[in-house]
Amino acid sequence: MNYGEIKNNDIANGLGVRVSLFVSGCRHCCKNCFNSQTWSFNYGTPFTTETEDYIIKAMEPDYISGLSLLGGEPFEPENQPALINLLKRVKSVYPNKNIWCYTGFLFDSELLGQSRANGQHTLELLKLIDVLVDGRFVEELKDITLKFRGSSNQRIINVKESLEQNKVVLVEELI
């Protein structure tokens, strides 16, 4: 897996101050994507153990609320194994910090249903994520007044409760 960028003090991609990892590789290719350079799986820098160490260290300060995964597309099958390893480590070292993930895939019909994202690692990756912002960016539905999302079709989902209840449970206070 490659990544395009790591932001150490991000306030735009989840609640609080966060460390954000922008992975490379995305087949959605949404019109007017804010990060289209990350569509290529070859873009950026190889993700290594040293990269993981860097993220873990960057998350150390108490003011860091958690980690956000963006892209590119974290749920592309090629990206899932490396992200699972990272998220397991984050959960082990920082059990009180949360993990957000942005994906163009829909939680219920694509990540849990029949799609290219629903591979052997998808459910394992989902179980490590606290909040999922799902749905492709749609230029015609762009709304700059929305919290933590770019277009009105995207949802902010409580992953743990959604998996337990077998239905989409939104994070209501962020809608």
At 147, the amino acid letter reads K
| pLDDT at residue number 120 | 81
- Domain span at residue 153 reads 2-174
| pLDDT at residue number 61 | 98
Going by C-alpha positions, the residue among 9, 133, 25 that lies closest to residue 82 is 25
> What are residue 19's DSSP bridge partners?
67
| pLDDT at residue number 33 | 78
- For tokens 């990269």, name the residue: 51
| pLDDT at residue number 31 | 79
| pLDDT at residue number 28 | 83
Question: Mean pLDDT by 10-residue block, N- to C-terminus, for the chain (175 residues)?
Answer: 97 96 90 82 97 98 98 94 98 98 94 78 96 94 93 96 96 82
Cα–Cα distance measured from residue 15 to residue 17, given in angstroms and rounded to the nearest whole number:
7
| pLDDT at residue number 81 | 96
Counted domains in the chain? 1
